[in-house]
């Protein structure tokens, strides 16, 4: 794009839109590395379908869990504002009117989930209480001026404010000092200009529509400056009769923080009511129950993968959003790395897709370890057919997929039944939460563990009322199922309940206790010893009561259900199709190891840059590596204190190793360039935290790390 002009000038070249880079479809990324398969697009579409279904289920669950909290908050705000409207002209209530209605909303330490909660809360309040809802964060309000400025700007941007009013105020705010007087006058003008011809849905018999409250949400109340909070509360209480304000404090720790930040003179100006959100652990249990402990979604997690996700949740952030993102990553990795994940869909669709499996996919099925074990247990004729006849293989695959679906249906029913027993026992031998029991059942045969043996012993000591209550819960669990194999289980439990109700243990115990002596007669030591032996024999030879016999039958029945239906997933053929087991891959993505990553990048830049020139033998320092890599490798050879002069000379030697001959010398300009490159590399290492300046020696730096990694 040269020009033939001989004079100096400025030339404009229009871009060639025809050569614009075309974006690559997302599903094409599945066609890389170990994901090579002819079902790329279908796998990607299946992943999108399953994830969208799980995402919508999670969002619906979040709305249901927040509904009670939002309803109680809405009722509190409406009640507080109606009380203000009724008593606004009563001079005896002027003291009460100086108290700002305040809702202390305790959300927990999962701070990353708070934005979603506040977003839903803001939408709910705007639909049910007032159009004027403002959310502020501490980072945007370092002082009172910025606090009021943010408050005014968000109030102006409210949807229900007319465009003309917004323009007028926006022209005023450049030349206006923000204050509560300005807010009061703005609120008075806005409420007086409300159109009286609004629909009946937006008008109420009271004057709430014409003077709606202003709800101010402080998302992170603990982070606000104490002076800013105190000044705003004191000023707002003086203007409450002109500017009806309601506060909502978002609290992550404890409500005690309010009294720690605000003195009594300020906190007495607040009419505080406490609201508690659902516990993070309870929320996690509900999410697992809706997404994993069900046959609605075919995708499942192995024990190690589920343990990685729950450990990150319990020991790092308590964030449900991060847990769901980890679940999404697991689904994506499963459909990317497993070619047979094309069958990870609902049962009818999976059966249909088996008819269109290619020869390569049939070979992939034969390579599965679970399918190999299944073939080894078959007759010789069937083994030959499974390994040679593709039509027979597809028919058998359909049957195995159906068996896998039935297995999951029965598995989750028996798991919930067993959890009803374990959650009511002392010390919780198999865990208090169902996810703990689920992880144990995924890992091994649960009946081989010592905890399960102690569980059976405790079940054989349950009282009649406790046992009947648990059996009623189990009966409701099995009644909700439409499975064929466990269809009669509910009837069996109902029969047990009927037998318990017909028992009359009191008469039997009275009849049995009448034959025992009430006390020892006055006699010598020999006869006393004889009486004790007789009583011991009577106690050991005592027959069990009808209740004990029936209780033993119930325990044996539950034990048989566990042994029949709680087999680990590894025992099921084709379980690799629906189970994601690459826990190490998930751990590498989610558990950050910055020190290892930095050492790998600086010690072996080829690992990330994939440049063939950077390949070198271990222990060598190539001059083609980035400057920071050369400086890093040289600093590994030094002790705690590094001489900058020696370091610089070694750096220059490595950089110019390929360019210099035995007799050649470096020019002064090249030396200055190398020196500048060395200074930049050292500065970058200091920024990363590998070295620091030291006062012990002026021309030395101190090494902050020791060892290779």
Sign (positive or negative) of CA dihedral 421, 425, 429, 434: positive
- For 191, the token pair is 């409420």
Phi then psi for residue 230, to 5 deg, are: -60, -45
Question: Mean of the pLDDT values across residues 606-628?
Answer: 81
DSSP 253: S
| Burial annotation 377-396 (CB, 10 A radius, 16+ → b, else e) | eeeeeeeebbeeebeebbeb
- Two tokens at 365? 């099925």
The Cα 228–Cα 160 span in angstroms is 29
Query: Does residue 507 surpass a pLDDT of 60?
Result: no
pLDDT of 133: 93
pTM of the model: 0.78
Long-range contacts of 550-557 (CB under 8 A, 24+ apart): 550/496, 550/499, 550/500, 550/503, 551/460, 551/462, 551/467, 552/460, 553/496, 554/459, 554/467, 554/471, 554/496, 555/456, 555/459, 555/460, 557/492, 557/496
Does residue 582 carry a pLDDT above 70? yes
pLDDT score recorded for residue 21: 52
Q: Comparing C-alpha atoms, which of 562, 291, 554 is closest to residue 444?
A: 562
**Mean pLDDT in the chain?**
83
Cβ density class 330-340: b for 16+ within 10 Å, e for less: bbbbbbbebbb
Q: In the chain, what is the straight-line distance between the N-terminal and C-terminal CA atoms, in Å?
A: 51
Task: Select from 288, 299, 371 the least CA-distant residue to 333.
Answer: 299
For strands 270-276 and 100-106, give the pairing: parallel
Q: What is the pLDDT of residue 99?
A: 86
pLDDT of residue 196: 46
Band the pLDDT of 658: cuts 50, 70, 90.
Answer: low
Paired with 184 in beta bridges are: none
User: Which is more confident, 142 or 204?
Assistant: 142
pLDDT at 305: 95
Q: Does domain 594-703 have CATH number 1.10.10?
A: yes
Q: Which CATH architecture has domain 87-193+207-278?
A: 3-Layer(aba) Sandwich (3.40)
Residue 194 has what pLDDT?
A: 52
Average pLDDT score over residue span 360-375: 94
pLDDT at residue number 174: 45
| Mean pLDDT computed over 387-412 | 95
Average pLDDT over residues 521-535: 66
Q: pLDDT at residue 116 above 50?
A: yes
Helices first, then strands: H and E counts in the chain: 30, 10
Which candidate, 40, 23, 22, places its Cα nearest to that of 31?
40
Distance from C-alpha of 187 to C-alpha of 181, rounded to nearest angstrom: 10
- Rounded CA separation 33/356 (Å): 24
Lowest mean pLDDT among 6-20, 56-70, 207-221, 395-409: 6-20
Question: What's the confidence (pLDDT) of residue 85?
Answer: 65
**Which residues of the chain are in CATH 1.10.10 domains?**
594-703
Percent of the chain at pLDDT exceeding 70: 79
Q: Provide the CB-side half-sphere exposure for 494 (13 A, CA).
A: 9
What is the band of 576 on the pLDDT scale with cuts at 50, 70, 90?
A: very high
Q: Which helix (H) or strand (E) holds 622?
A: none
pLDDT-derived band at 204, boundaries 50, 70, 90:
very low
Specify whether the backbone of 242 is left (phi greater than 0), alpha (psi in -120 to 50) or beta: alpha
User: Read out DSSP for 107-169?
Assistant: --S-GGGHHHHHHHHHHHHHHHT-S-EEEE-GGG-SSHHHHHHHHHHHHHT-TTS-HHHHHHH
| pLDDT higher than threshold 90 for residue 58 | yes
Is pLDDT at 108 greater than 50 in this prediction?
A: yes
Residues 6 or more apart whose CB falls under 8 angstroms from that of 27 comprise 40, 41, 44, 45
Token pair recorded at residue 631 = 């400086």
Predicted local confidence at residue 363, as pLDDT: 94
CA distances to 472, 631, 649, 658 from 670, in Å: 86, 18, 13, 14
C-alpha 340/C-alpha 371 separation (Å) is 13
Start and end residues for every CATH 3.40.50.300 domain found in the chain: 87-193+207-278
Q: How confident is the model at residue 468 (pLDDT cuts 50, 70, 90)?
A: very high
Measured between alpha carbons, how far is 125 from 108 in angstroms, rounded to an integer?
A: 21
**Lowest mean pLDDT across 477-486, 568-577, 590-599:** 477-486
> Would you state the pLDDT for residue 156?
83
* More confident call, 613 vs 354: 354
Q: If pLDDT is split at 50, 70 and 90, which confidence band does 546 have?
A: confident
List, as one string, the DSSP characters of 643-654: EHHHHHHHHHHH
φ/ψ region of 246 (left if φ > 0, alpha if ψ in -120 to 50, else beta) reads: beta
**E strands present in 355-490:** none
Residue 198 contacts residue 116 (beta carbons within 8 Å): no
Q: What is the mean pLDDT of residues 219-232?
A: 93
What average pLDDT does this structure show over 633-652? 90
Query: CA 702 from chain center: how many Å?
Result: 41
Per-residue pLDDT for 25 more than 70? no
> 32 pLDDT band (50/70/90 cuts)?
low
Q: Tell me the mean pLDDT in the region 519-529.
A: 59
In this model, does residue 364 exceed pLDDT 70?
yes
Question: If we measure between CA atoms, which residue out of 566, 409, 557 comes closest to residue 492?
Answer: 557
Average pLDDT over residues 67-89: 79
Beta pairing, strands 691-693 & 641-643: unpaired
Residue bearing the bigger pLDDT, 192 or 339:
339
pLDDT given at position 656: 86
CA atoms within 13 A on the CB side of 449: 14
Q: What is the per-residue pLDDT for 536?
A: 66
Annotate 475-509 with DSSP letters as a single string.
HHHHHT---STTTTHHHHHHHHHHHHHH--HHHHH
**Does 123 score more than 60 pLDDT?**
yes
pLDDT confidence of residue 88: 53
| Average of per-residue pLDDT across 537-550 | 76
For 541-561, give the secondary structure using H, E and C.
Answer: CCCCCHHHHHHHHHHHHHHHH
For 407-412, what is the mean pLDDT? 94
Choice among 380-394, 451-465, 520-534, 626-640 with the minimum mean pLDDT? 520-534
Could you give the CA distance from residue 217 to residue 247 in angstroms, rounded to a whole number? 6
Which stretch of 13-22, 134-143, 189-198, 293-302 has the lowest confidence by average pLDDT? 13-22
């Amino acid at each position: 794009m040269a020009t033939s002009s001989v004079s100096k000038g400025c030339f404009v070249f229009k871009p060639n839109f025809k050569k614009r880079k075309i974006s690559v479809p997302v599903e094409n990324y599945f066609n890389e590395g170990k994901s090579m398969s002819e079902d790329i697009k279908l796998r990607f579409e299946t992943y999108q379908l399953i994830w969208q279904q799980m995402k919508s289920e999670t969002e619906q669950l979040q709305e249901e869990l927040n509904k009670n909290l939002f309803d109680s908050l809405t009722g509190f705000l409406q009640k507080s504002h109606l009380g203000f409207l009724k008593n606004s002209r009563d001079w005896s209530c002027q003291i009460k009117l100086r108290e700002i209605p305040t809702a202390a909303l305790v959300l927990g330490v999962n701070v990353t989930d708070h934005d979603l909660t506040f977003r839903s809360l803001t939408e709910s309040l705007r639909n049910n209480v007032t159009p004027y809802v403002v959310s502020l964060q501490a980072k945007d309000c370092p002082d009172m001026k910025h606090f009021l400025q943010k408050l005014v700007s968000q109030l102006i941007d409210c949807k229900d404010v007319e465009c003309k009013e917004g323009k007028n105020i926006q022209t005023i705010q450049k030349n206006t000092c923000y204050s509560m007087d300005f807010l009061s006058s703005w609120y008075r003008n806005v409420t007086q200009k409300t159109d009286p011809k609004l629909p009946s849905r937006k008008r109420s018999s009271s004057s709430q529509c014409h003077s709606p409250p202003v709800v101010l949400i402080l998302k992170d109340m603990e982070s606000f400056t104490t002076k800013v909070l105190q000044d705003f509360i004191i000023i707002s209480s003086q203007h409450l009769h002109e500017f009806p304000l309601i506060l909502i404090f978002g609290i992550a720790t404890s409500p005690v923080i309010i009294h720690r930040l605000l003195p009594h003179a300020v906190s007495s100006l607040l009419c505080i009511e406490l609201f508690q959100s659902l516990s993070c652990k309870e929320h996690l249990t509900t999410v697992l129950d809706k997404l994993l402990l069900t046959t609605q979604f075919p995708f499942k997690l192995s024990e190690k993968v589920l343990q990685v996700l729950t450990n990150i949740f319990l020991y790092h952030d308590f964030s449900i959003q991060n847990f769901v993102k980890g679940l999404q990553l697991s689904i994506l990795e499963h459909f990317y790395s497993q070619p047979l994940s094309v069958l990870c869909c609902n049962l009818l669709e999976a059966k249909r897709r088996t008819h269109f499996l290619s020869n390569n996919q049939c070979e992939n099925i034969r390579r599965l370890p679970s399918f190999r074990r299944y073939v080894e247990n078959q007759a010789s004729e069937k083994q030959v057919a499974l390994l040679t006849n593709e039509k027979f293989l597809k028919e058998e695959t359909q049957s195995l997929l159906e068996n896998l679906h039935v297995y999951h249906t029965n598995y989750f029913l028996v798991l919930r039944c067993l959890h009803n027993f374990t959650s009511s026992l002392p010390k919780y031998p198999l865990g208090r939460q169902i996810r703990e029991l689920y992880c144990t059942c995924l890992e091994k045969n649960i009946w081989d563990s010592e905890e399960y043996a102690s569980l059976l012993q405790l079940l054989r000591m349950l009282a009649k009322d406790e046992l009947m209550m648990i059996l009623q819960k189990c009966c409701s669990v099995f009644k909700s199922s439409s499975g064929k194999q466990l269809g009669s289980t509910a009837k069996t439990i109902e029969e047990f309940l009927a037998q318990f109700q017909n028992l009359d243990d009191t008469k039997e115990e009275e009849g049995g206790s009448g034959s025992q002596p009430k006390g020892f007669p006055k006699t010598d030591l020999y006869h006393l010893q004889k009486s004790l032996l007789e009583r011991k024999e009577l106690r050991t030879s005592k027959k069990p009561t009808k209740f004990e016999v029936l209780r033993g039958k119930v325990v044996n029945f539950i034990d048989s259900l566990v042994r029949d239906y709680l087999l680990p997933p590894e025992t099921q053929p084709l379980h690799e199709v629906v189970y994601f087991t690459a826990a190490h891959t998930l751990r590498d993505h989610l558990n950050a190891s910055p020190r290892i990553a930095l050492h790998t990048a600086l010690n072996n830049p080829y690992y990330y840059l994939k440049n063939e020139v950077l390949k070198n033998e271990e222990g060598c320092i190539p001059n083609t590596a980035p400057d920071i890599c050369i400086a890093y490798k040289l600093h590994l050879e030094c002790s705690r204190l590094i001489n900058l002069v020696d370091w610089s000379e070694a750096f220059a030697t490595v950089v110019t190793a390929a360019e210099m001959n035995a007799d050649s010398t470096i020019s002064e300009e090249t030396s200055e360039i190398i020196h500048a490159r060395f200074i930049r590399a050292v500065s970058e290492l200091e920024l990363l935290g590998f070295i620091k300046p030291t006062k012990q020696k002026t021309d030395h730096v101190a090494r902050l790390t020791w060892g290779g990694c």
